[in-house]
Structures are given as C-alpha cells and as structure tokens.
C-alpha cells in the first residue's frame, strides 16, 4: 500500500525536529565544554601553578633630594655637607640662588669640588659653574651664586668632585634635586646723604 502524503509530511517533520535537537545539543555541548575547560585551567593554576608572577624588584631610578645638613656626595672620600640653599628675591631686579657646601678634605691630593650646572623649575639650565680646590688636611666653604629670572626657582644641581688616589685622577659626579629652597625677600635701600650742617 503506497504511503500517503500525510505520512511523508510526518517523516519530514520528524527529521527536522531531530536536526534541530542535534544542533541545540551541539551548541550547548560546545558552550559547556568551553566553560568547563576554563574552570579546569583556573583550578589547575590555583592548585598546581607557579603562583603569581614575581614582583619587579628593580626600583625606578630616582634622583636623590638634598637639604641643608645632608651629605652632597656620599660616594666621595671627602666630606661635603650642604649648609645653605636659598633664593634672594628682589622686587626691582633678578633673583639670586645661593648654595653653600662645607668641605672637609682629610687626606686627598688634588681635590676640587665643582658646583653646577643648575636646572630651574621653568626648565632653564644655568650652565655657570663654581670650582674650588681644597688642599689635603684643609676645610673650606664652597659658595655658588646663580642669577634667576624673577619668579623662577632652582630645581636640581650637579656636583662633581675630582681627586687623586694612588696617582690616578678620579671623578665622582652626582645630580641632586634640591629640597625646599626658601625665598627671602630683600629690598634695595637707597643710601641717603647726610643732612647739611648749618653754620
């Protein structure tokens, strides 16, 4: 007995349903497989992994800060201590940055300290330098003065020491950031002529 059109339609509908079910199973199965693999790897790393990556122990290079009382050049065999850093400000003229270092040279031959250049907060480089030789067994105060644009401040300074050891000339250089630099307002007074004497 030949199949009726209704039987053919039913078989086609059944095949379509099985295809839809198969596609849904594949989709859900793939999603569960991905989630399961992710969960497995997470648990594996937590239990058997090497742990978190090691922290970077290389500290960022920072420029040291100095203030009065600090050693300016710790790597130098002599002693260089900052005694003064200040700005003299005038309302009628340029400002002046003053920097004073006390040097104690116990035994170094051919010792000399150079202060400068100076970098300002505005980004200008004051290339003037001050050099002072200090004999072995002597002490001295090295004084530097730099002219600033009105309103500017010193930010960093380079210090260089040269000395002879075992007949060899050695150099120690250090760039430092200046700590709090006080601004001292000064006023230029005109010298008054003495009053005339009456006869």
Reported confidence tier of residue 55, pLDDT bands at 50, 70, 90? very low
pLDDT of residue 10: 57
pLDDT surpassing 50 at residue 84: yes
Q: pLDDT by residue (tens digit) across 38-50?
A: 555 555 544 554 4
- Please list the helix, strand and coil fractions of the chain in percent, rounded to the nearest 5, in that order: 20, 40, 35
- Buried b / exposed e over 171-188, threshold 16 CB at 10 Å, is ebebebebeebeeeeeee
97 versus 51: the higher-pLDDT residue is 97
159 versus 58: the higher-pLDDT residue is 159
Architecture per CATH, 65-186: Sandwich (2.60)
pLDDT of residue 189: 45
Give the separation between CA 88 and CA 96, rounded to whole angstroms: 5
pLDDT surpassing 80 at residue 105: yes
pLDDT of residue 154: 96
pLDDT of residue 82: 97
pLDDT of residue 19: 78
Find all residues with CB under 8 Å of 80, minimum gap 6, and list them. Answer: 71, 72, 73, 101, 102, 103, 113, 159, 161
Give the separation between CA 140 and CA 157, rounded to whole angstroms: 20
Q: What percent of the chain has pLDDT over 90?
A: 50
Q: What is the mean pLDDT of the chain?
A: 79
Q: pLDDT by residue (tens digit) across 123-132?
A: 999 999 999 9
The mean per-residue pLDDT over the stretch 112-139 comes to 95
Residues in the chain: 199
pLDDT of residue 166: 85
């Amino acid at each position: 007995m030949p199949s009726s059109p209704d039987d053919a339609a039913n078989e086609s509908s059944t095949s379509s349903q099985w295809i839809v079910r198969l596609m849904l199973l594949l989709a859900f199965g793939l999603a569960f497989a991905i989630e399961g693999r992710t969960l497995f790897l997470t648990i594996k790393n937590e239990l058997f992994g090497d742990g978190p990556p090691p922290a970077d122990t290389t500290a960022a290079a920072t420029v040291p800060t100095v203030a009065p009382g600090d050693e300016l050049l710790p790597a130098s065999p002599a002693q260089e201590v900052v005694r003064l850093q200040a700005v003299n400000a005038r309302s009628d003229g340029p400002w002046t940055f003053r920097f004073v270092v006390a040097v104690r040279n116990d035994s170094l031959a051919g010792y000399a300290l150079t202060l400068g250049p100076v970098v300002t907060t505005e980004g200008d480089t004051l290339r003037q330098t001050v050099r002072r030789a200090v004999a072995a067994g002597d002490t001295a105060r090295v004084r530097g003065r730099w002219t600033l644009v009105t309103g500017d401040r010193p930010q960093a300074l380079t210090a260089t020491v040269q000395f002879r050891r075992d007949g060899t000339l050695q150099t120690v250089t250090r760039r430092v950031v200046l700590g709090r630099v006080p601004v001292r307002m000064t006023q230029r007074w005109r010298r008054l002529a003495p009053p005339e004497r009456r006869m």
